[in-house]
Amino acid sequence: MFGGTFDPPHVGHLVTAVNVRHALVLDQVLLVVANQPWQKLGSRPISPAADRLAMVEAAVRGMDGLAACDLEIARGGHSFTADTLAELAQRHPGASLFLVLGADAATGLPTWERVEEVRARASLVVVDRPGEPPPVVPDGWDWTHVEVPRLEVSSTDLRDRVADGRPLDYLLPGAVISCVRERHLYREPT
């Protein structure tokens, strides 16, 4: 499970998912689109969940072992990882669940809702880039470190690029660029 706002999903997200899948020999990495990301609400406007899901679906179309997941959207309300992991465990009894996080998000685990449930249900996969200091993970977590290529891509910059009319080529998959244009997303600077 690789959860996120994905507003928009970019090549950095895909490189992370592909590299984690390869490093851990996973059957599938689900890109779980947050319905209402409780840690970001009020900090900036967030695109409608249906638009973000459509972009993730476009991004992973035809990619072996990657899939868009709408569990949090279908559930509605605030998106909590503990709820999503519980639902995945129910849908896939006996499956080993992994939670993919960036090193920065891993340091914030103690602030998560029902973090003990998350710890009990999933092994943690912490990703970072070459040359960064080793990840700091709170004590008591079963976790694996996966290094992914350094790509300086940010969703904030991409939203601003759309608003300013700057190129998106090679930063977003072509299908995501088409989706952004068709849905008229990010017309205003963030």
**Per-residue pLDDT, 38:** 64
User: Would 24 be classed as within a structural domain?
Assistant: yes
**SS3 label, residue 180:** helix
pLDDT in tens, 4-27: 999 999 999 999 999 999 999 999
Q: Domain limits at 104?
A: 2-151
User: Would 126 be classed as within a structural domain?
Assistant: yes
User: Would 40 be classed as within a structural domain?
Assistant: yes
Number of domain units in the chain: 1
pLDDT in tens, 144-160: 999 999 898 999 999 99
Average pLDDT of span 115-141: 91
**Per-residue pLDDT, 39:** 64
User: Would 28 be classed as within a structural domain?
Assistant: yes
User: Would 163 be classed as within a structural domain?
Assistant: no
User: Would 183 be classed as within a structural domain?
Assistant: no
pLDDT at 188 over 80: no
| Amino acid type, 138 | P
Task: Report the CATH number that the domain containing residue 133 is assigned in CATH.
Answer: 3.40.50.620
* Whole-Å CA distances, 15 to 56, 97, 169, 186: 13, 20, 16, 23
Contact between residue 72 and residue 33 where contact means Cβ atoms under 8 Å apart: yes
Contact between residue 83 and residue 115 where contact means Cβ atoms under 8 Å apart: no
Give me Rg for the CA atoms of the chain. 16
Strand stretches in the chain, DSSP E: 2-4, 29-33, 36-37, 66-69, 78-79, 98-102, 123-128, 143-147
User: Would 30 be classed as within a structural domain?
Assistant: yes
Contact between residue 121 and residue 82 where contact means Cβ atoms under 8 Å apart: yes
**Per-residue pLDDT, 93:** 95
pLDDT in tens, 67-104: 999 999 999 988 899 999 999 999 999 999 999 999 88
Where is 50: in which H helix or E strand? helix 49-60
User: Would 185 be classed as within a structural domain?
Assistant: no
